[in-house]
Amino acid sequence: MPLSPQRAVDELKELRELTSDESGAQRLAWTDTWLRAREWFAKKLAELPVEHHYDSAGNNWATLRGASKKSLLIGGHLDSVPNGGWLDGSLNTLAALEVLRRFASEFNGRPPVTIRIVDWADEEGARFGRSLLGSSAFAGTHSISSDRARSDRSGIKLEDALRRCGVEIDRFAEAENERKDAAAYIELHIEQGPVLERLDLPLGVVLGTKGVERHIVTFHGQEAHSGSTPMSARRDALAAAAKLALEIRDIARRYPDAVCTVGSLKTFPGIATAVVGRCEATLDQRDLDPGILARMYRDAQEASHRFAEEEKCTVEWSRLWSIEPVPFHTELLALCEQAVREVSGSSHRLPSGPLHDAAEVSRAGIPTAMMFVQSLRGISHNKIEDTREDHLELSVTALDRLASKTVDWILR
């Protein structure tokens, strides 16, 4: 079977048919629809000369044994957010399947190195609020002891939802065994942003995933009657938070790829007739450069203190979550660039704002590269998520080229 990018696109449509409704994809991890997607995928794998198993964190592996034990891993995720799109995670998985088929047929079931494809469990974290669950188990960076207490909106515990799908939390860490002989990891993904579309390029090379600083910034002022308190006597916590929300835009604009977002503001007491006594703002800052990330964090802190003083308030910071930037492997990036150029004529390097399973794999020390294909309108996590079909086909071809180049690299 030669590579058939068209077949990958047809299978994406098949999967959409099977697991979407009028609101979009419903392959939420650990639900029946997700299991149905996995069953469908397993049937495709059964037609190939591969070993198929689920690891102890629920990651779904298909292994085509090669002459060398050294393995090239190609990853994706079949899970989606609720009302999600048809490509996020699925494109990578079905493109990986197509590349696996090509290796199996070209080398009569025995390629020079072992080829493994993986459908990571619960990349999105949409149900329990913990993204990259399966790949973090693989990488040994999971936080399952604190995550086990999580529950979904209907009160179902993470632990119970996983058990229903055959995953025992106490054996979660055994997924690390899958790292044995892993020599490289590659992943294709839709961009989920507008950069490639603006440049009119179908494909791009991902430099790495941006680091994230995520904090709650709480301003304390004085609750007071909105009728009787003169403007000059107010200690308005919202006023200070509002200044910060505007300032972080300037902080981000100092750097070409940086982003800063105040995504939530909560006011207390939160009524029309009181000056805001306390305001909680969330701040999310991202960049690929750890130095820039640290500077933006410091600048935002300084600004918050200045605004607190101007509004006669105080401010305190508490970290919600953070992750360091994860740059991908320089040599594999160069191979990715070659593959993209060969297939589409030109290439562009860009960082990824969203996190991906590839970041976890890279953190585990496995050389990693990632490729983006253009997203129409830059929209994702939405049923209108889309990519031109000719671009989808190009992306499958480019992933296949990258896979071959990476196999040669592993053998060198």
Q: Which is nearer to Zn ion, 132 or 244 (CB)?
A: 132
How far apart (Å, rounded) are the C-alpha atoms in residues 20 and 12? 11
CB of 356: closest distance to Zn ion in angstroms? 6
Q: Which is nearer to Zn ion, 88 or 311 (CB)?
A: 88
CB of 88: closest distance to Zn ion in angstroms? 4
CB of 80: closest distance to Zn ion in angstroms? 8
What is the x/- site pattern for Zn ion, positions 38-77, by CB under 5 A?
----------------------------------------
CB of 354: closest distance to Zn ion in angstroms? 7
Residue in 11, 55, 79, 88 binding Zn ion, rule: CB under 5 A = 88
Residue in 5, 58, 89, 193 binding Zn ion, rule: CB under 5 A = 89
Q: Which is nearer to Zn ion, 89 or 202 (CB)?
A: 89
Strands 349-352 and 203-209, sheet pairing: parallel
79 binds Zn ion (CB under 5 A): no
* Contact range with Zn ion by CB under 5 A, out of 34-42, 88-96, 266-274, 330-338: 88-96
Q: Which is nearer to Zn ion, 41 or 307 (CB)?
A: 41
CB of 307: closest distance to Zn ion in angstroms? 36
What is the x/- site pattern for Zn ion, positions 268-287, by CB under 5 A?
--------------------
What is the x/- site pattern for Zn ion, positions 117-146, by CB under 5 A?
------------------------------
Q: Which is nearer to Zn ion, 58 or 89 (CB)?
A: 89
Q: Rule CB under 5 A: which residues touch Zn ion?
A: 88-89
